[in-house]
Structure 1
Amino acid sequence: MKVVPRVTLVVIAYGQPDLLEALLDSIADHTPEAHEILVVDNASPDDTYERAARHRTQPRLIKANRNLGYGGGANLGVRASNSDVVIIMNSDLEVTEGWLSPLLRPIETNSAVIAAPLYVDETDKVVESGASLTADGHVHPAQMASTGLAPVDHVSAACWAVKRTWFQRMGGFDPSYGLGYFEDVDLCAVAAANKEVVVVVNESRVVHRTGASFSSTAVQRLSHRNHARAETRWYWMRRGTQENPWPGETAICHGRVAVIGHHPKVVSQLRSRNISVAVLDKANDLSHRPNRDDVVVAESELSTVAALAPRAEITTPEDLENALRRAGIAPSSTPPRPRFSSIATTRSRRW
């Protein structure tokens, strides 16, 4: 008699077959609950598909004809799943003992619409326990374990439990975000707009090798674009939550620049063109602004700047215009305006 799976584990993979095999091994070792595994191969340029097909877990396989991005691959996998509860998973994870049942519980009992585990590294140190969102569109991750269910504004979609029916009703991940991230920020905002709950399940732990797939310069530029899209789309909902510890920063802007040191002409020029500017005394101050800036202007301590602001374009005052272009920022004396009609149009699209 065929066992009906309690959950479908939808794994989105693009290259890096060693990571995928490590995830599948960990699922085999730590998942006694009835489940099926569905691997969506996003047109990997190597032998990822073939190695997944040979794995002892015998996953179902879907091979996309092109790289759909994480969101597009997840949409494809959820649509093909055979259970009402689905866990969307990145291939750079490893699950741990007892991870699954606590993660499913809030979804099966309708306590939340999105549930994610506590993300830890290989030493069991917490790397993400959810995040808060502010009106400028930035994500401020927390790294602190608690107990039970922790409601959050956002949590990385590296491992999300959802009901397939809810995911489909919301339209899945918005395909307009493409390959550049923020589709999970957007769907968490959709949940919040519908007064639904997103939680981190502290009793479930999953190892996440953060940043394993965030290496391409082109993808980093797409991330800048998608940050601007998410900020514009959801400012109306987050406008009362702006955290603004740096004088001069604004929520509605064409982009964000951190200027290290004394450069009053640069600051004045940027602000006159509706770019939000934070003036920092030293490079180490960037440690208080995780992933916040599109461009960092600095003349020294460049290695420190690169380490603390890995997603930013780093430039000198003399090359600032080129750096703004590389970051996808179009300065203008006219401030940006949220286009609310386009929000409804985009989010009403289904797969």
Structure 2
Amino acid sequence: MPVLPSVAVVILNWNGKAFLEKFLPSVCRSTYGNLQLVLADNASTDDSVAFVAQHYPQIRIIRNPQNDGFAGGYNDALQHVQADIYVLLNQDVEVEEGWIEPVVALMEQDARIAACQPKMRAYKDPEEFEYAGAAGGWMDILGYTFCRGRILYTTEKDNGQYDDVKDIFWATGAALFIRSSCFHQVGGFDRDFFAHMEEVDLCWRLQRAGYRICYCPDSRVFHVGGGSLPQGNPRKLYLNFRNNLMMLWKNLHSEDRWIVLVQRFFLDILAGVKSLVAGKPKDMAAIYRAYKDYYRWRRKYVKKDNLPEMKLMKMSGVFHGIMIWRYYFLGHKQFSELI
């Protein structure tokens, strides 16, 4: 019999004892035959590490010296994990038995599949797709991200409409299967992002390197979401805006960069004004700070990769239009209406 690729499920933890108590049992019931389980702790101040050490001795624990967020935390921990495929799993995810096998089987069909995600459903409403990934991540020509099954804050019920294997633009960081060789080849996550959008940036760089990103509907997981920063938190809004701008500057083809970023600037001003009119001045302040810090970052930015430039239009999972225009002005709330 062929040897199964080695898989390491790596859960990044920060003060997540309640989530670990609830969701580790499902992870430990995973049936894959060549599996290791790892807890990467981001300098937690609760007793989550002690809890895991006591109750789950089969789980290896890696202690990061400080909390460098999702990006830095995984980059540091994965230097110490040997496996063919990493599975980066959020601490607030419940998995089904047999969730690993179909994704690995799909990735084994084509060595160019660098990353893959399962179907993401909402833990609190299991018939609904979940915000952070749904049935695979897409992006429009101005860098606005959305998913099959989720556009902005509108999620769809899973009625089997996305039960096909599909090439996508980005795979969710909440349950990200990625070849270890590909992760390290493109430099892992960008530490400057700290948290949010880092998986989109990583998948963009993987596509620029010639790899595929895929969605596997035969694997299902259930995500709580907002475990670290809930939706509507100004800090989350700040990171999403800042990191999205950084990602565009880094990855856009040089011929497209200014065209896209100028359009984004005016649309983001409108978003800030909308927040102010809606009585959310903290959201407007978050967008302002995001731009301020983005420009500061850009002044000192040094290109970190030598990957080829690639037109966005030629990549998988790109909508050749403006998503927010369709959503707000044409009322297209579902992916099937948009594409």
Q: TM-score range by the shorter chain?
A: 0.7 to 0.9
Q: Please state whether the residue corresponding to 2:182 is helix, strand or coil.
A: helix
- Asked if 1:296 corresponds to 2:274, the answer is yes
- Asked if 1:182 corresponds to 2:197, the answer is yes
Does the 8 A contact of 1:189 with 1:234 survive in 2? yes
How far is the alpha carbon of 1:88 from its aligned partner?
Answer: 1.2
TM-score, length of structure 2 as denominator length:
0.73
- Asked if 1:117 corresponds to 2:126, the answer is no
Q: Please state whether the residue corresponding to 2:242 is helix, strand or coil.
A: helix
| Residue 137 of structure 1, aligned match among 139, 143, 146 | 143
How far is the alpha carbon of 1:156 from its aligned partner?
Answer: 1.4
Does the 8 A contact of 1:254 with 1:330 survive in 2? no
Bigger CA drift: 215-224 or 10-19? 215-224
How far is the alpha carbon of 1:199 from its aligned partner?
Answer: 0.5
Change (3 A) 1:276 1:148: closer
Counterpart of 2:129? 126
Does the 8 A contact of 1:214 with 1:220 survive in 2? no
CA-based RMSD of the aligned residues comes to 3.4
Change (3 A) 1:150 1:239: farther
Asked which structure has the greater RCO (Cα within 8 Å, sep 6+), the reply is 2
| Residue 167 of structure 2, aligned match among 137, 143, 151 | 151
How far is the alpha carbon of 1:239 from its aligned partner?
Answer: 4.8
> What percent of counterpart residues are identical?
22
The CA distance in 2 between the partners of 1:155 and 1:78, in whole Å, is 18
Does the 8 A contact of 2:5 with 2:84 survive in 1? no
How far is the alpha carbon of 1:38 from its aligned partner?
Answer: 0.9
Bigger CA drift: 165-174 or 146-155? 146-155
The CA distance in 1 between the partners of 2:255 and 2:171, in whole Å, is 16
- Asked if 1:166 corresponds to 2:169, the answer is no
Counterpart of 1:39? 39
The CA distance in 1 between the partners of 2:272 and 2:249, in whole Å, is 16
The CA distance in 1 between the partners of 2:98 and 2:217, in whole Å, is 12
Counterpart of 2:212? 197
The CA distance in 1 between the partners of 2:40 and 2:82, in whole Å, is 14
| Residue 236 of structure 1, aligned match among 235, 243, 253 | 253
How far is the alpha carbon of 1:82 from its aligned partner?
Answer: 2.7
Change (3 A) 1:28 1:237: farther
Q: Please state whether the residue corresponding to 1:228 is helix, strand or coil.
A: helix
Unaligned runs of 5+ in 1: 241-249, 257-274, 280-292, 307-311, 316-321
The size of the alignment, in residue pairs, is 285
CA offset digits 1:175-221 (Å, max 9, x no partner): 1212x311111111111212311011000001111222224644542
Q: Please state whether the residue corresponding to 1:347 is helix, strand or coil.
A: coil
The CA distance in 1 between the partners of 2:225 and 2:207, in whole Å, is 25
- Asked if 1:213 corresponds to 2:248, the answer is no
The CA distance in 2 between the partners of 1:132 and 1:238, in whole Å, is 22
The CA distance in 1 between the partners of 2:293 and 2:12, in whole Å, is 33
* Higher radius of gyration, 1 or 2: 1
Change (3 A) 1:23 1:77: farther
Map 1:9-24 → 2, pairs under 5 A = 9-24=9-24
Unaligned runs of 5+ in 2: 150-157, 308-339
Does the 8 A contact of 2:11 with 2:90 survive in 1? yes
**Counterpart AA for 1:135:** I
How far is the alpha carbon of 1:96 from its aligned partner?
Answer: 0.8
The CA distance in 1 between the partners of 2:286 and 2:94, in whole Å, is 37
Does the 8 A contact of 2:11 with 2:91 survive in 1? yes
CA offset digits 1:61-107 (Å, max 9, x no partner): 01111102112222223222232121111111111122110011233
The CA distance in 1 between the partners of 2:100 and 2:250, in whole Å, is 33
